[in-house]
Structure 1
Amino acid sequence: MTVNDDSFISWKNREEIAESMIPIIGKLHREQDVTVLVHSRSLVNKSVVSILKTHRFARQIDGEELSVTETLPFLETLTTLDLGPCQIDIGVLAADYKTDSRGLSVAEFTAEAVAGAIGENKIERRDGRDVVLYGFGRIGRLVARLLIEKAGSGNGLRLRAIVVRGGGDQDLVKRASLLRRDSIHGQFQGTITVDEANSTIVANGNTIKVIYANDPSEVDYTAHGIDNAILIDNTGKWRDREGLSKHLRPGIDKVVLTAPGKGDVPNIVHGVNHDTIKPDEQILSCASCTTNAIVPPLKAMDDEYGVLRGHVETVHSFTNDQNLLDNYHKADRRGRSAPLNMVITETGAASAVAKALPDLKAPITGSSIRVPVPDVSIAILSLRLGRETTREEVLEYLRDVSLHSPLKRQIDFTTAPDAVSMDFVGSRHASIVDAGATKVDGDNAILYLWYDNEFGYSCQVIRVVQHVSGVEYPTFPVPAV
């Protein structure tokens, strides 16, 4: 037998184990609201190959691939425990178990590590929270996909309705088709049917009412059985408290804006300042995609080195507010053809930093260039630091932040020498540090941060909504302080 034969047999064995994991992961998620992770990456609704690739990611942490043969015993043990709603990282469990010298069995070690989620310590399953999307454009449809994906047992976030303006004949069919197929993000993972008589879209069993209205004042959500809902405004038409308050209609409890808020509207970047949201706050903003991309690494660098000043230059994919061909536009340059030109424009991300990071006293400036790509952008963050350092130190620090810190869901890290923008389509992180492009000279550092300005940002929006809705469950094992 050749070495290649051995590799193939090993692969087939691991495929078989990954197949056996899928029903266990699904049952835990549906029946107990338990999300199984491997180093912060969810295994829920993942294919055999995706599960194996997620395990392979552990090479970045431990220097060697994590095998499904190592994690399966921990997963099987979870089925024997009286678990409440939570997230459990079997990758961390396996890694911690390797370094534990007490001679505990897998069952004993697992029960101890997740003790806060079992028995009398467990959180009781909460009622689901209704969610309404106001607008159904690029971000709206991706947020819808994520909400449907995370519906789980039905006790989490439930997408109940979408509010749009009437679009004429076949409107519902066309909107469902845009949800079903996306030129950038691919096919919807599941099934979608349309009930035109009842104005509903049914996606993976989730019945979503499509409400036609030209203004928030026209809608009474309670008439559609919606109560205490969180409304996500994807239109950007209203960005101050007065305008967004129009959404606080019967059935709506909170409003979340997917654009930078103006005035006293809190701008929230999950992972950085989501804990500052007051329980009685009814209106908040998720800031912009670029703000979400730069604030987490900016915070990380300020925590370790201190930041005296900075400038961010974003090379941003074109968006729907630009023209396909040259035509009139109220902005100075955005009327020029988006697929044919690099377009210098402004960004509010730099000024938004002050709202998300009020303790950062350093002045941050910013500018932006729109370029002819449909998705994924890069922010070039140039910083003057409070002390001198080296490139190696900065990279090791940011790598550790991406793997072990409270910002690991926001910051990813790549060492791929040939990485390009399309490699990051579908990234669930707010930004990805490109190690190969990073430059450090004494107290000056330049970070290159990739970000999927559509999907990565939508994931940040969902995290904020989960937090304010009370369905953001704790993760185990709890990191050592």
Structure 2
Amino acid sequence: MSDTDETFNDWQHREELAETMIPIIGKLYREKDVTILVHSRSLVSKSDISILKAHRFARQIEGEELSVTDTFPLLQAVAKLDLGPSKIDLGLLAVQYAEDQRGLSADDFVAEKLAGATGENKIERNGGQDVVLYGFGRIGRLVARLLVEKAGSRHGLRLKAVVVRKGGEDDLIKRASLLRRDSIHGQFAGTITVDEKNGVIIANGNPIQFIYSNDPTTVDYTAYGIKDAILIDNTGKWRDREGLSQHLRPGIKKVLLTAPGKGDVPNIVHGVNHQTLTGDEKVISCASCTTNAIVPPLKLMEDRFGIVRGHVETVHSFTNDQNLLDNYHKADRRGRSAPLNLVLTETGAASAVAKALPDLKAKITGNSIRIPTPDVSIAILSLSLKGETSKDEVVDYLREASLTGELRRQVDFTTARDAVSSDFIGSRAASIIDGNATIVDGDSAILYVWYDNEFGYSCQVVRTVQSISGVEYPTFPAPAAV
């Protein structure tokens, strides 16, 4: 047999194993609320090819590709357990199993590592959490897609309603069309039907009530069967506690803002400071997309090397806040044509770092340049460190943190030498470290951090909602210290 034949036969074998994994993963999710991951990448509702690609990402561990031949026996062992709601990372299991020298069977090893999700330690399934979207713009529609995607277990987040201002007689049809097709993020993964008579869009079997209102204080959500919901305000119209508290109507228990909060509104970057929430907060902010992108790598660098001071320059895709052609705008430069110019503007992300990382005493400054691309931005972090280091040490540390560290859901990593912004459309990470672009000279480090300012940020919003509603389940096995 030729090498070509062996390579193709190996591919077919791995593809067959991936196909066999799909129903096991689906059953665990639907029946037990168990999400199967590979290095923080969910395998739920993924194709065989997507499963293989998720495994290939792990080639960054010691330069070797993780294979389904390694993870399939572990998945079979997982399926045999009486698990409670949880996330199981096959990538971490495979790494730890390969390092284990005790000669345990896959069944025994997995049972030991997942003991925290079985028996007396098993978490009871949550009854589900109602969610309402206030606004249906770029972030609102992507959050809607994510919520529908995660509704399969019926015990997680449930998008019950969307509140918008009515735009015309065919408003619902146009809203459904915008949810169905997106010029940047592609087609909706599933089916969408419209019940105009009842004002409902049905996405993958999930009925979403559309409520038309110009005033948040006029809506009684209990009239639509909504109870103790979390309302996500993605309009940005109100950013302080007084304004956002208008949403605290019958049926709504908490309000989450998808923009930087003002005053005493807590700004949360999931993975970094969401644990500081006590549960009593009624109004919470998810900060900005840029804040979510820069805070995780800043925390990693502070924890390992210490930061004396830093400057953040964001090269940011244009947004709806800018004009297509030159026209009046209340800001100094944003009135100039977004598709035709680089537009220098301010960013509040640097000052917002202090809210998310109060222990970081380093002064962080920042600015932003809006550019003629529709999505994906890059933040350049220029940092003065407390001691000298090397590029290899910084890159190895950040790569390992992205794979096995506590911020692995927030921080991704790439070594692709030909990577450009469009390659990161649809990334679920808050930030992606470009390892090859990293510059280190003594006690100076410059990091280049990509981020999908739409979808990656929306994933952070949903993670925060899961956290504050109690449907964010623990991940097993526990990651090793980085």
TM-score range, shorter chain: over 0.9
Aligned residue number for residue 438 of structure 1:
438
Aligned residue number for residue 114 of structure 1:
114
Mapping for residues 14-29 of structure 1, pairs under 5 Å: 14-29=14-29
Partner Cα distance (1:62, 1:178) in 2: 43
Partner Cα distance (1:220, 1:247) in 2: 10
Aligned residue number for residue 201 of structure 2:
201
1:289 aligned partner, one-letter code: C
Give me the identity figure in percent: 75
Aligned residue number for residue 297 of structure 1:
297
Mapping for residues 34-73 of structure 1, pairs under 5 Å: 34-73=34-73
CA contact (8 A) 2:315 2:370 kept: yes
SS of alignment partner, residue 152 of structure 2: coil
Aligned residue number for residue 413 of structure 1:
413
Aligned residue number for residue 401 of structure 2:
401
Aligned residue number for residue 329 of structure 1:
329
The Cα shift of 1:35 comes to 0.2
Aligned residue number for residue 222 of structure 1:
222
Residues 1:268 and 2:268 aligned together: yes
Deviations 1:427-464 (A, max 9, x none): 11111111111111111111111000000000111111
Higher deviation after alignment, 24-33 or 304-313: 304-313
Deviations 1:224-252 (A, max 9, x none): 00000000000000000000000000000
2:90 aligned partner, one-letter code: I
The Cα shift of 1:357 comes to 0.8
Partner Cα distance (2:65, 2:400) in 1: 18
Partner Cα distance (1:382, 1:78) in 2: 44
Aligned residue number for residue 6 of structure 1:
6
The Cα shift of 1:92 comes to 1.7
The Cα shift of 1:152 comes to 2.2
Following superposition, which runs of at least 4 residues in structure 1 exceed 6 angstroms of deviation?
none
1:341 aligned partner, one-letter code: N
1:124 aligned partner, one-letter code: E
SS of alignment partner, residue 151 of structure 1: helix
CA contact (8 A) 2:92 2:479 kept: no
Aligned residues: 481
Partner Cα distance (1:391, 1:62) in 2: 17
SS of alignment partner, residue 428 of structure 1: coil
Higher deviation after alignment, 66-75 or 468-477: 66-75
Partner Cα distance (1:158, 1:43) in 2: 20
SS of alignment partner, residue 387 of structure 1: coil
Aligned residue number for residue 464 of structure 2:
464
Aligned residue number for residue 101 of structure 1:
101
Residues 1:191 and 2:173 aligned together: no
CA contact (8 A) 2:378 2:451 kept: yes
TM-score by length of 2: 0.98
SS of alignment partner, residue 61 of structure 2: helix
Aligned residue number for residue 171 of structure 1:
171
SS of alignment partner, residue 29 of structure 2: helix
SS of alignment partner, residue 238 of structure 2: coil
The Cα shift of 1:62 comes to 3.7
Deviations 1:239-284 (A, max 9, x none): 0000000000000000000000000000000111000112110101
The Cα shift of 1:305 comes to 1.3
Residues 1:240 and 2:240 aligned together: yes
2:335 aligned partner, one-letter code: G
Deviations 1:360-413 (A, max 9, x none): 111111111100000000001111111111111111111121112111111111
CA contact (8 A) 2:405 2:480 kept: no
The Cα shift of 1:479 comes to 2.6
Partner Cα distance (1:361, 1:464) in 2: 25
The Cα shift of 1:2 comes to 2.6
2:209 aligned partner, one-letter code: K
1:192 aligned partner, one-letter code: I
Partner Cα distance (1:36, 1:467) in 2: 18
Change (3 A) 1:233 1:112: same
SS of alignment partner, residue 386 of structure 2: strand
SS of alignment partner, residue 161 of structure 1: strand
Partner Cα distance (1:479, 1:406) in 2: 7
Aligned residue number for residue 210 of structure 1:
210
Residues 1:343 and 2:343 aligned together: yes
- CA RMSD after TM alignment: 1.0
Mapping for residues 128-167 of structure 1, pairs under 5 Å: 128-167=128-167
1:142 aligned partner, one-letter code: L
Partner Cα distance (2:206, 2:306) in 1: 47
1:249 aligned partner, one-letter code: R
Deviations 1:287-337 (A, max 9, x none): 000001111111111111111111111100000011111111111111111
SS of alignment partner, residue 256 of structure 1: strand
Aligned residue number for residue 359 of structure 2:
359
The Cα shift of 1:209 comes to 0.3
Residues 1:259 and 2:262 aligned together: no
The Cα shift of 1:480 comes to 4.3
2:208 aligned partner, one-letter code: I
Partner Cα distance (2:281, 2:137) in 1: 26
Partner Cα distance (2:252, 2:360) in 1: 34
Question: Please, which runs of 5 or more residues in structure 1 have no aligned partner?
Answer: none
Aligned residue number for residue 78 of structure 2:
78
Partner Cα distance (1:311, 1:137) in 2: 31
SS of alignment partner, residue 159 of structure 1: strand
Partner Cα distance (1:454, 1:466) in 2: 19
Partner Cα distance (1:191, 1:304) in 2: 46
2:39 aligned partner, one-letter code: H
Partner Cα distance (2:158, 2:28) in 1: 19
1:275 aligned partner, one-letter code: Q
1:107 aligned partner, one-letter code: D
Deviations 1:339-368 (A, max 9, x none): 011001110001111111111111111111
SS of alignment partner, residue 388 of structure 2: strand
Higher deviation after alignment, 299-308 or 88-97: 88-97
The Cα shift of 1:10 comes to 1.5
The Cα shift of 1:130 comes to 0.1
Partner Cα distance (1:480, 1:422) in 2: 32
TM-score by length of 1: 0.99
